Amino acid sequence: MTTKMMGAKVQRVEDDRLVRGTGRYVDDVAPDALHTAVLRSPHAHARILSIDVDAVLDVEGVHAVWTYDDLEGAMAEPLPLLIPHPTLTHGRTQYALAKDEVNYVGEAIAFVVADDRYVAEDALARIAVEYELLPAVVGIEAARDGAHLVHDDVPGNVGARMEQSNGDAAAAIAAAPRTLSLDLQIERSACMPMEGRGTVARWDPDQNRLQVWTSTQTSTGVRAAVAAKLGLDLGQVDVITPDVGGGFGVKIVHPWPEELLVPLAAQKLGRAVKFTEDRREHFISSAHERAQVHHVEVGFDDDGRVLGLDVRFWHDHGAYTPYGLIVPIITSTQLLGPYKPGAYHVQFDSLYTNTVIVTPYRGAGRPQGCFVMERTMDAIAAELGKDRADVRAINFIQPDEFPYEQGLIFQDGRELTYDSGDYPAMLDKIKELVDWDGFESFRAAKAAEGKRVGLGLACYVEGTGVGPYEGAHVHIETSGKVKVATGLTSQGQGHQTAFAQIVADELGVRFEDVEITTGDTRRMAYAVGTFASRAAVMSGSAIHLAAKRTKEKALRIAADALEADVDDLEIVDGVVSVKGTDSSIPLGTIAVLSNPLRYAFDEASKAATQFNVGDPTKPPVAEDDEPGLEGTDFYSPPRSTFASGMHAVIVETDVETAEIRILKYAVVHDCGHLINPMIVEGQIHGGVAQGIGGALYERMAYDESGQLLNASFMDFLMPYVTEVPASIEIDHLETPSPLNPLGIKGAGEAGVIPGSAAFAAAIEDAERLPITAMPISPSELFALRAAHAQESK
Amino acid sequence: MKPAPFDYVRPGTLEEALQALAGHPEAKVLAGGQSLVPLLSMRLAAPAVLVDINELPDLDHVRVDAEGVRVGALARHARVLADADVARVQPLVTKALANVAHATIRNRGTTVGSLVHADAAAEMPMVLQLLGGSVDVVGPAGRRTIPVEELYVGPLESSLHHDEIAVEAFFPALAADTGVAFEEIARRHGDYAMCGVAAVVTVDGDRVVAAKAGYLSVSDIPAVVDLTEALGGELRDASLARAAEAALAVLEPETDIHATADYRAHLATVLTARVVTAAYEDARTRAGGSK
């Protein structure tokens, strides 16, 4: 290779196919499949007294209708609690179909299989369910109050109470020269991928084998779950993840009821069966995130140095806890961001409510933590009359302090140790990018035009690339093409491009000759999944290692064939040559030589006949060797690697209408070495758009009875392209991670994390009134202005 | 999100369409489908029959003359919006249409369909009301013209009879020495407005001799308020404030998940001043240009 691919702005090879509409998603698989529909609870909390499906049985085109009573064995048990935790003392999960009680609007009650979705929905309308309504617990206040319980056997609606500390925060605050307390809250939003959930299954009676296509972030996870629940051997189940139209976290949850019911139906009916979630279902029966209420006590000195920080917060996890405590644990640990408070104590309650379950959504608890920490920094600066950037700078972990131990246990059960970073350099960059020092003159100029503007800054650190492992298999074909498989899934990240760049560099092959397969358990049975900004770090590293292994084998065979020393060889464009000579051999020919098979099928085989390899006195496949030019390897890091970033935003708040306009959005981002800056910037753009959504537009509007009032894209306001600034200014810092061979850190979630924190700061700066709850709408800003004017009187 | 079963007819003549409607009390007319189809898919509406009028002849017209603009029942918003004659003869139609939803919806949705859907949060019913237009309908008894004053009778309710089909809307031409303006404030580009205001102002030199404003999303049915008296002939902060007060006395904004009633009322006040001023400037420009 003459040019290094790593770090190059390589155009995504996926886009042509996806943008032209030739992507292949779960719903495109098996057009002959039977369709399914799910009867969902219309009530937030009710006992099911009876279910009468008789009227469905004679509907033409209906093949099956199931309720809980039709489930057997493991299928009749509650769904798995995927990530238990010792402090999750009252974890609860739902059944695939509700047993006796429903706990949120949207919970699955009955399952219909029919010729098509129209007939299936007609059938749903004929199922009669008798309910006894129970009081609904909606919102953190009602949950905390505990007057009504979501689950009778969970006192106070508290699923978990967890506490961590580093030092004696209470004492530090008591002794601090200055203190502040803040109450801060964030509302619910959700991932909202373009493609909802979806599963297709086909039972092959000839092979006694189940094939499942599902729109997931973990095909290996779904495979294990389906096998366990259906009582099949793992070896009887294949799970294939085709193109996925976005995940953002919601599709790491598994198995969804439909992910089990569809395979079960396929097996029982002997037909391909499909579930394609519709948008309303996605709103009321997938997952949400973000709702938390926080109370902060902070003690600091006259320079703004945080001496003690005590955070108590309440996390609304919805009706069940299938994904454990990942979100609040991340908030409680990642809240500290780039700072090193003298002492820290955090305690949270994870609370049940009669609402859709809460599981990680891009950012996964970090947007809340960042909001809390950054609001606190701004409050300290305001209290001291100091520059907000200066107060942050004085609290930064310094570049010579890495690895830095925060003295806490992170979400992966490992110590929270930052591997690398350079926060002071990053602050310099963001200040320059947003013209921090020139802002007051900009403000004055705008004020002269009768306009009100504000500037906000938010900093974060993000633990990325969590373990335990990913693997990769690299196979060089006799054509010289390189087939690579890694087990985690792709939902738009550009893995085909980024991973091929890594392979091209390591193997010395053309980028175009590398083909990447993800999320297919037939190709790679051991894998974890695509979440926690881990794909590049985990699979990227594994692919690098597997490519390296394959290269070593190729060079060994080449050295034998060319009668040269391995150290004298190089690989350029898929051809191994002895440096400085004409002596060479293509990788495809080496692949032929690597397999001592007698048959010659093609030109590649004939071309290989000129070479002699191997020791004729030993077996054709030597001891400790294998036929074929392949390499498999796994990467398993000791702990997460910590990326970081800083965002600054300038807003105008309309003096008359309270509309909030974005004048400038600037990002400095550090994810270590960049594999592909174009992909990283695309990730940042998407993240920033979601951050804008979370800060200014999106909320789940539940009423007191637990009905979701805005379960459509008409009323749940995701930003359109018209609400996102045409230009997002990005600068990179590259502080390599010492934990992996490529020096990379994750980038997937970063863009969304500081959105609410940065906007709250900018709006507060423009309006000179405290912003303590996000998101904020023009109507709410108008109300805040009115309340503030009233108080000032 | 699949509709409940329904019968579907696609008649080739108006007579057949009327027969289909007359034969089914539960029938609904389908033109652009931009409001009806989502209602069907969410099973919020389950008509027994859809009478698709897209094959009917002679309804796809936009005719402009000195009297005004006539829009046929199958003319799409996008086509009306792009018509330069419409913009010349009644610019308020064009200004308002630019705020109707998104381009893809305007490509399919029909202006007449929107008018008879009678949504007080939609732009075109309010514009028709403000301009004093009318809708022609055809039924078993023949063709009749419904003046807009008699068209909107309640929330999402028009005075069309079930067995009638709206075939044409009429927007009167802009009068001499008159200007128009339109502005709305929505949560996102293309969303239903939290509040929208249109104004028609007639001047005599510097003086305002007539002023009316129409309001979106702050009343049950499209609301029009005559501001002539409140303005007292001139545009000053005080007279504009009086105009807004006059409007608020009539309007009944409500709180929903996107905006409080107070905020909507505030927007109505702000927009009244902005839009009346802009219409006044427009009138002055036009009056100057015609001299």
Q: Does A701 touch chain B (CB under 8 A)?
A: yes
Any chain B CB within 8 A of the CB of A469? no
Among the partner-chain residues B194, B257, B262, the one whose CB lies closest to the CB of A710 is B257
pTM: 0.96
Q: Which residues of B touch A656 (CB under 8 A)?
A: 270
DSSP string, B10-44: --SSHHHHHHHHHH-TTEEEESS-TTHHHHHHTTS
CB–CB contact B43 A121 (8 Å) = yes
Chain B residues touching residue A122 (CB < 8 angstroms): 4-5
Question: Is the confidence at residue B9, as pLDDT, over 80?
Answer: yes
Question: Which one, of A647, A672, A644, lies nearest residue A729 by Cα?
Answer: A647
A74-78, A297-301, A613-617: which range is least confident on average? A613-617
Which of B 232-271 lie inside 8 A of A, CB atoms? Answer: 257-260, 262-263, 266-267, 270
Confidence of residue A36 (pLDDT cuts 50, 70, 90): very high
Q: Is the pLDDT of residue A249 over 60?
A: yes
To the nearest 5 percent, what fractions of chain B are helix, strand and coil? 35, 30, 35
Proportion of chain A above pLDDT 90, given as a percent: 94
Q: Per residue in B109-163, pLDDT tens?
A: 999 999 999 999 999 999 999 999 999 999 999 999 999 999 999 999 999 999 9
- The Cβ-side half-sphere exposure at A298, using a 13 Å CA radius, reads 27
Q: Residue B215: beta bridge partners?
A: B197, B223
pLDDT of residue A1: 43
Asked if the C-beta of B1 comes within 8 angstroms of chain A's C-beta atoms, the answer is yes
Scanning every residue of chain A, which has its alpha carbon at the shortest distance from the alpha carbon of B258?
A779
Kindly report, residue by residue over A416-469, the tens digit of the pLDDT: 999 999 999 999 999 999 999 999 999 999 999 999 999 999 999 999 999 999
pLDDT of residue A793 exceeding 80, the answer is no
Q: Given a cut of 90, is residue A613 above it in pLDDT? A: no
Q: Per-residue confidence at A635, pLDDT binned at 50, 70, 90?
A: very high
pLDDT at A379: 98
Report the CATH fold assignment for A292-466+638-792.
Aldehyde Oxidoreductase; domain 4 (3.30.365)
As a whole number of angstroms, the distance between CA B213 and CA B222 comes to 11
| Range A697-710 average pLDDT | 97
8 Å CB contact of A782 and B194: no
Q: What is the DSSP letter of A398?
A: P
Cβ of A601: how many Cβ atoms within 10 Å? 10
> Which residue from A minimizes the CA distance to B41?
A118
Over residues A683-704, the mean pLDDT reads: 97
Question: CA-based Rg of chain A, rounded to a whole angstrom?
Answer: 28
Evaluate whether A635 touches A644 at the Cβ level (below 8 Å). Answer: no
Rounded CA-CA distance B166/B113 in Å is: 8
Question: Which pLDDT does position A361 carry in this prediction?
Answer: 97
Q: How confident is the model at residue A610 (pLDDT cuts 50, 70, 90)?
A: confident
Say yes or no to pLDDT of A562 above 70: yes
Q: How far off is chain A from B262, nearest CA to CA, in Å?
A: 8
* Rounded CA separation A317/A136 (Å): 15
Measure in Å the smallest separation between the Cα of A459 and chain B Cα atoms.
28
Q: Which of A118, A659, A720 sits opposite B185 (nearest CB)?
A: A659
Question: CB B42 to CB A709 under 8 A?
Answer: no
Residue whose pair of structure tokens reads 């409680």 in the numeric block: A332
Q: A468-635 is classed in which CATH architecture?
A: 2-Layer Sandwich (3.30)
Residue B125, min C-alpha distance to chain A (Å): 20
CATH number for the region A17-134+191-285 comes to 3.90.1170.50
Instruction: Tell me if A17-134+191-285 shares its fold with A468-635.
Output: no
Query: In this complex, do B188 and A701 lie within 8 Å of one another by their Cβ atoms?
Result: no
pLDDT more than 70, % of chain A? 100
**How do residues A332-388 score in pLDDT, each as one tens digit?**
999 999 999 999 999 999 999 999 999 999 999 999 999 999 999 999 999 999 999
Q: What domains, with CATH codes, occur in chain B?
A: 7-52 (3.30.43.10), 62-172 (3.30.465.10), 178-286 (3.30.390.50)
CA distance A463 to A487: 22
Say which of A125, A657, A701 has its CB closest to residue B185: A657
pLDDT of residue A2: 52
Which among A279, A719, A722 is the nearest to B1, CB-wise?
A279
Average pLDDT, chain A: 96
Q: Is the model's pLDDT at A502 over the cut of 60? A: yes
Q: Taking CB atoms and an 8 Å limit, are A782 and B263 in contact across chains?
A: yes
pLDDT band (50, 70, 90) for residue B289? low
Between CA A718 and CA A594 the distance in angstroms is: 54
pLDDT tier, A622 (very low <50, low <70, confident <90, very high otherwise): confident
Structural domain spans, chain A: 17-134+191-285, 292-466+638-792, 468-635
Mean pLDDT of B43-51: 94
Which ipTM score applies to this complex?
Answer: 0.95
Chain A residues touching residue B1 (CB < 8 angstroms):
278-280
Contacts of A125 in chain B (CB under 8 A): 4, 43
What are the DSSP E strand ranges found in A265-376?
Answer: 273-276, 292-300, 306-316, 344-351
pLDDT band per the 50, 70, 90 thresholds, residue A616: confident
Q: What is the pLDDT of residue A37?
A: 98
pLDDT of residue B55: 96
Q: Give the model confidence (pLDDT) of A205-241 as tens digits.
A: 999 999 999 999 999 999 999 999 999 999 999 999 9
B42 interfacial to chain A (CB closer than 8 Å): yes
Burial A185-218 (b: 16+ CB within 10 A, else e): bbbbbbbbbebbbbbbbbbeeeeeebbbbbbbbb
How close is the nearest chain B Cα to the Cα of A594, in Å? Answer: 55
- Check residue A385 and give left, alpha or beta (phi > 0: left; psi -120 to 50: alpha): left
Q: Compare CB distances from B187 to A118, A709, A717 and report the shortest one's residue.
A: A717
Q: What is the pLDDT of residue B291?
A: 45
pLDDT, residue B254, reads: 96
Burial of B139 (0-12, 13-18, 19+ CB in 10 A): middle
Looking at the predicted structure, is the pLDDT value of residue A202 above 60?
yes
